[in-house]
Amino acid sequence: MPSFARSFNKTTLALATAAAASLALPSANAAEVEVLHWWTSGGEARAANVLKELMEAEGYGWEDFAVAGGGGETAMTVLKSRAMSGNPPSAAQIKGPEIQEWGELGLLGELDEVAEAEGWDELLPPTVAEVMRHDGSYVAVPVNVHRVNWLWANPEVLEAAGVEMPTTLDELFSAGEAIREAGYIPLAHGGQAWQDATVFETVLLATGGTEFYQQALVELDEEALGGEQMVEALETFKRLRELMDDDMSGRDWNIATSMVIEGTAGMQLMGDWAKGEFTAAGLTAGEDYLCAAAPGTQDAFTFNIDSLAMFRVEGEEREAQQALARLVLEPTFQEAFNLAKGSIPARPDLDMGEFDSCAQQSMQDFQRTAEEDGLVPSMAHGMAVRADVQGAIFDVVTNYFNSRDMAAEEAARRMVNAAQAAL
């Protein structure tokens, strides 16, 4: 019966697209890929559109299934619902350990032929390739590498306060004080669990270093999670609250970024997707806004990789799917997408001439830290631990950050419990 539903859907879709007459499809019955993603903001959508055009140029159809909201939470719900009904899309935006989870369910299709033909093993950095494979086979294709540990700043606000871009946590606090005295909000922030966790993991990296980060947030080592270094990280994290305004609860990250753009706030700790907002506002990196590795994390790179995972499909659709996988890693799309998204290409061999200074620095740091063991997966963005542990850590972090009287020791103790939450 599902096959009937599929064909029925395809018919209605064909009718709908024919009626829409918005795009001249190459042919009505070309093989199609249905792509579930949450690249819905303007720049991202334009970038994803490049991929769609590339597919159409090769004669394949692209059925766009964008679901906004909650950093992909809604999209993942839809994906599970579709998977349960035995009707998954051809490709979906899935990342990190979650790729492994879908792989274990046996729902993903392998891409080894494409990987072989295109030489992905040589092309991709080992750290990235590892995330894309399940049981030794490629099941997903990376579209970019985001760096999470960035500090963004408005140069005019810094100047008004008479401070430089901070390079250590101490400098961050003193600069913050100066900015507050000059009448601005020192640190723009949105009070949502994932944003709290983003700031927290960056602070932890700055206070404890990459080795401690690995022990605590990747290996979930109990002594690291409950120890003195954790308490120190938590206390420093809580001190940052003094640099934020009171109205931050529930604010979206891009609203916080626009506070930096408008000059009501001085700085923001956020991943490099924030650059998409600066770019959309017509600002130039290094002149109208500043970027630097988050204070105290110059020798580390917290990565967050977006990827498209391929579901097991048959026949023509599979052919289209393989083409999609190939096109994702081709320079045309990698460049266009990453220019719009603020990230760097997933393959280090591309010419970065078109990119701005922040992206160029990101690429240099990526290659440098890869050699020095400074590359760490982002816990806040689902690259380090499974979703349940991540969620449990989120709960501890956001609750501690928002509570008036919880001691850091108590939060550290809960952190240990959170890590054991996984059955």
Radius of gyration of the chain (CA): 22
Instruction: Give the nearer residue to other proteins in terms of CB position, either 91 or 392.
Output: 392
**Least distance between other proteins and beta carbon 51 (Å):** 10
Residues 32/17, Cβ–Cβ less than 8 Å: no
Helices 228-239, 408-419: crossing angle, 10 deg rounding: 120
Instruction: Give the nearer residue to other proteins in terms of CB position, either 109 or 208.
Output: 109
**Least distance between other proteins and beta carbon 124 (Å):** 26
Q: DSSP readout, 144-213?
A: -BEE--EEEE-HHHHHHHT-PPP-SHHHHHHHHHHHHHTTSEEE---BSHHHHHHHHHHHHHHHHHHHHH
Instruction: Give the nearer residue to other proteins in terms of CB position, either 18 or 117.
Output: 18
**Least distance between other proteins and beta carbon 166 (Å):** 25
Q: If we measure between CA atoms, which residue out of 167, 241, 233, 197 comes closest to residue 390?
A: 197
**Least distance between other proteins and beta carbon 310 (Å):** 17
* SS3 assignment, position 269: strand
Instruction: Give the nearer residue to other proteins in terms of CB position, either 19 or 287.
Output: 19
**Least distance between other proteins and beta carbon 248 (Å):** 7
Residues 58/324, Cβ–Cβ less than 8 Å: no
Residues 329/335, Cβ–Cβ less than 8 Å: no
**Least distance between other proteins and beta carbon 366 (Å):** 26
Instruction: Give the nearer residue to other proteins in terms of CB position, either 66 or 407.
Output: 66
Strands 265-269 and 185-187: parallel
Instruction: Give the nearer residue to other proteins in terms of CB position, either 163 or 220.
Output: 220
